[in-house]
Amino acid sequence: MKKPILVSGIQPTGRLHIGNYLGALKNFVDLQNSGKYDCYFFIADYHSLTENFNPAEKPAQILNLAADFLAAGLDPKKSKIFIQSAVPQSTELAWILETIAPMGELKRMTQFKDKSDAQQENVNVGLFTYPTLMAADILLYDAQFVPVGDDQLQHLELARTLARKFNSHFGRTFFEPKEILTATPRVMSLDDPEKKMSKSRPGGCLFIDDEPEVIKSKIRGAVTDSESVVKYDPKRKAGISNMLEIMSGLSGKSIAEVERGFAGMNYGELKHSLADYVSDYFEKFRKKKATLLKKSAVIKSALRSGSAKAKKSAEKKMADIKKKIGL
Specify the residue, 173 or 272, whose C-beta has the smaller distance to ligand TYM: 173
Count of residues that bind ligand TYM according to CB under 6 A: 26
**Active-site entry in 58, 78, 178, 199:** 199
Whether 324 sits among the annotated catalytic residues: the reply is no
36 phi, psi to nearest 5 deg:
-90, -15
Strand segments, DSSP code E, in 178-263 are 178-180
Dist CA 324 CA 138 (whole Å): 18
**CB-based burial of residue 265 (10 Å sphere; 0-12 exposed, 13-18 middle, 19+ buried)?**
middle
Dist CA 43 CA 28 (whole Å): 13
Which residues lie below 8 Å from residue 199, measured CB to CB, with a gap of 6+?
A: 13, 14, 15, 17, 205
**Active-site entry in 26, 80, 196, 289:** 196
**Which run of H or E residues covers position 43?**
strand 38-43
Quick check: 44 binds ligand TYM (CB under 6 A)?
A: yes
In the set 5, 139, 148, 180, which binds ligand TYM (CB under 6 A)? Answer: 148
Quick check: 152 binds ligand TYM (CB under 6 A)?
A: yes
**Active-site entry in 115, 218, 271, 317:** 115
Quick check: 196 binds ligand TYM (CB under 6 A)?
A: yes
Specify the residue, 22 or 71, whose C-beta has the smaller distance to ligand TYM: 22
In the set 58, 178, 186, 304, which binds ligand TYM (CB under 6 A)? Answer: 186
Q: Which residues are catalytic, by number?
A: 115, 196, 199
Name the site residues for ligand TYM (rule: CB under 6 A).
Answer: 7-11, 19-20, 22-24, 44, 47, 134, 137-138, 146, 148-149, 151-152, 185-187, 196-198
